Amino acid sequence: MRCTKVNLERPGDETRYNFLVYSFHSRSIKGLDVCIKKQLIATCSEDKTVRIWNYNDRKLDIVETYQDQAHSIAFHPSGFHVVVGFADRVRMMNVF
């Protein structure tokens, strides 16, 4: 029986990492919703950004920055619209 030495400190070039997401929120997340018909997740955060993630492709699709902080977010079941709740208004936006 032959014993192989494995170096756990420094993985070789053959080791590849699969990242789930690329860019994160810089502050806490205030709202989150999952689309029923598409593989999308929408989040809003205290860093005044709204982000739409594609969990099937494991990437960030859309990032929008606003002047005010968003408090809540919700997808339309079709996935083509998103509603974002701010302190003084509610916005309905199209997702492209």
Please indicate, yes or no, if residue 15 is contained in any of the structural domains.
no
Q: Give the structural domain span for 44.
A: 29-94
Please indicate, yes or no, if residue 69 is contained in any of the structural domains.
yes
Please indicate, yes or no, if residue 35 is contained in any of the structural domains.
yes
Please indicate, yes or no, if residue 80 is contained in any of the structural domains.
yes
Per-residue pLDDT at 2:
55
Prediction pTM value: 0.71
Please indicate, yes or no, if residue 89 is contained in any of the structural domains.
yes
Domain count, the chain: 1
| pLDDT tens string 41-96 | 999 999 998 999 999 988 888 889 999 999 999 999 999 999 999 999 999 999 88
- CATH code, domain carrying 87: 2.40.10.360
Sheet holding 40-45, edge to edge: 29-34, 40-45, 49-54, 59-65
Per-residue pLDDT at 21:
46
Strand partners, 63: 51
Q: What angle do CA 47, 50, 54 make, to 5 degrees?
A: 125
Please indicate, yes or no, if residue 8 is contained in any of the structural domains.
no
